[in-house]
């Protein structure tokens, strides 16, 4: 790797992930405004939002199958083009279908970034994969903080949402330029000499399949809640967007100090503690009101901090033969689960609103009611109840994960003890 500039590749990867996270942060911040401008209900907003989440797994899974063949650089060029097209389509959106297509392009770009960058980071830092993946994924909540704060301040300055979206063009152009100039290594699996048969056998192993299924839950807990927080808590607190910012800020700090946490608890221990804190945080978010809700946001933020990078890092360290395909199947599983769950919960949210409104009420008519009218007040009261109900329905997921990861922790500890004993017998 003498021609490989490891540090520059890592920082360019972080910048590409920043664009990915900005797309989530900015879209979360302008979601309500998009609903108003284009007269979209929660189900339509849910479908548009979900498009990013199923465009992502489509790209990351395809990327996982081809990255060893075409190389990581070509994938990142494709990501740059898709980001550029998606951002421009959003800026010039005319309604539901242009928003749908633009979000799909951005979702495909986001998935392609992870399809290339997760194996790239694991290849660049084989001696410290989980910690480095946490450092890399620090830029996802980091971008969410930057994105939501930008939306908050620019909206107060009455800057249009189109210009807010255009901000993403700056880091997109920079990362596209950097990657075009740098040389890339081959993936770790190729460098290690593991065959394609080894790779497929690894992704069908019981441990990989267990982590694959658990990824559904960790991604929904983190990303569904984050993307929808402004809608779910808008009528509970005036600072719903700042809750997302606070949660993301906690994730940034947590991932920055990932090394001592991962080494102290082990990846499986980190996942178990994360699930417990996530469940507690979701419960508090759905029950507390006033300023105490910020305490709930901190607990929830601590819970989801290590989920995504540690899930991927666990697979990279403990199932290395799965290669780039294994890492990308994990990311794809997470985003696919979020896409399905988002559509389902959008309909669930609309259903709760309908149940809380007078019998026979037309939800679209109530949504168009002028502020201060009886219809508008009735809708606000319904929303006050609907948001926390959605969070409480989601709460069961991290509870199940806590049990699953406790079992994983015990299994990994027994396996580690067995390996130590085997080593002693071999030495004797």
**DSSP letter for each residue of 23-55:** HHHHHHHHHHHHHHHTT--HHHHHHHHHHHHHH
Query: In terms of C-beta density within 10 A (0-12 exposed, 13-18 middle, 19 or more buried), how is residue 197 classed?
Result: exposed
For 350-378, b where at least 16 C-beta lie within 10 A, e where not — what string? bebbbebbeeebebeebbeeeeeeebeeb
User: How far is residue 179 CA from its own chain's centroid?
Assistant: 23
Query: Tens digit of pLDDT for each residue in 75-109?
Result: 999 999 999 999 999 999 888 899 999 999 999 99
Sequence-distant (≥ 6) Cβ neighbours of residue 348 within 8 angstroms: 390, 393
Asked whether the predicted pLDDT for residue 428 surpasses 60, the reply is no
Is residue 322 exposed (0-12), middle (13-18) or buried (19+ Cβ within 10 Å)?
buried
C-beta of residue 130 within 8 angstroms of C-beta of residue 317: yes
Q: For tokens 């890492």, what's the residue?
A: 327
Q: Which domains does the chain have, with CATH numbers?
A: 9-413 (1.20.1250.20)
pLDDT at 419 over 80: no
* pLDDT above 80 for 1: no
User: What average pLDDT does range 33-54 have in this prediction?
Assistant: 81
HSE-up (13 A, CA, CB side) for residue 164: 28
State how far the Cα of 357 lies from the Cα of 375, in Å rounded to an integer.
9
Mean pLDDT value of segment 278-286: 93
Contact 181, 8 (CB under 8 A): no
Task: Please give the average per-residue pLDDT across 178-193, as a whole number.
Answer: 85
pTM for the whole thing? 0.81
8 A C-beta contact, residue 150 and residue 164: yes
Model pLDDT for residues 213-224, shown as the tens digit of each residue: 999 999 999 988
In whole angstroms, how far apart are CA 153 and each of 131, 146, 148, 157, 197?
Answer: 33, 11, 9, 6, 52
Mean pLDDT (whole number) for 360-370: 76
Lowest model confidence (mean pLDDT) among 61-70, 94-103, 123-132, 284-293: 284-293
What is the pLDDT confidence band of residue 201, given thresholds at 50, 70 and 90?
A: very high
In angstroms, the CA 23 to CA 144 distance is: 8
Residue that is written with structure tokens 């082990």 in the block: 266
Half-sphere exposure in the Cβ direction for 232 (13 Å, CA): 27
Residue 183 has pLDDT above 80, yes or no: yes
C-alpha torsion 394→398→399→405, nearest 10: 160
């Amino acid at each position: 790797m003498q021609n490989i500039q490891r540090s520059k590749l890592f920082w360019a990867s972080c910048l590409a992930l920043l664009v990915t996270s900005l797309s989530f942060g900015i879209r979360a911040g302008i979601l309500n405004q998009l609903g108003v401008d284009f007269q979209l209900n929660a189900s339509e907003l849910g479908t548009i939002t979900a498009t990013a989440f199923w465009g992502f797994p489509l790209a990351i899974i395809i990327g996982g199958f081809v990255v060893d063949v075409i190389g990581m650089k070509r994938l990142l060029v494709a990501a740059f083009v898709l980001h550029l097209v998606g951002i421009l389509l959003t800026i010039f959106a005319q309604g539901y279908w242009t928003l749908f297509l633009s979000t799909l392009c951005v979702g495909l770009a986001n998935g392609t970034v992870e399809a290339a960058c997760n194996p790239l980071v694991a290849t660049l830092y084989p001696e410290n994969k989980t910690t480095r993946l946490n450092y890399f994924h620090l830029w996802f909540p980091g971008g969410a903080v930057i994105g939501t704060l930008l939306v908050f301040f620019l909206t107060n300055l009455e800057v249009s949402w189109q210009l807010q979206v255009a901000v993403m063009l700056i880091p997109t152009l920079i990362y596209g330029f950097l990657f075009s100039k740098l040389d890339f290594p081959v993936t770790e699996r190729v460098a290690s000499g593991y065959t394609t048969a080894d790779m497929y056998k690894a992704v069908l192993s019981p441990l990989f399949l267990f982590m694959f299924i658990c990824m559904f839950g960790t991604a929904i807990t983190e990303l569904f809640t984050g993307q929808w927080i402004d809608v779910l808590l808008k009528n509970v607190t005036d600072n719903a967007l700042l809750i997302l910012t606070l949660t993301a800020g906690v994730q940034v700090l947590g991932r920055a100090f990932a090394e001592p946490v991962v080494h102290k608890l082990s990846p499986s221990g980190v996942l178990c503690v994360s699930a417990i804190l996530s469940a507690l945080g979701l419960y508090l978010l759905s029950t507390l009101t006033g300023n105490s809700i910020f305490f709930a946001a901190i607990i929830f933020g601590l819970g989801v901090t290590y989920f995504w990078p540690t899930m991927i890092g666990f697979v990279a360290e403990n199932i290395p033969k799965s290669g780039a395909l294994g890492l990308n199947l994990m990311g794809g599983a997470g985003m696919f689960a979020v896409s399905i769950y988002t559509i389902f919960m959008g309909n669930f949210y609309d259903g709760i609103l309908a149940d809380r409104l007078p019998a026979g009420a037309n939800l679209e008519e109530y949504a168009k009611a002028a502020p201060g009218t009886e219809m508008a007040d009735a809708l606000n009261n319904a929303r006050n109840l609907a948001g926390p109900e959605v969070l409480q329905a989601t709460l069961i997921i991290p509870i199940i994960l806590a049990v699953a990861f406790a079992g994983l922790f015990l299994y990994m500890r027994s396996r580690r003890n067995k390996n130590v004993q085997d080593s002693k017998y071999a030495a004797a």
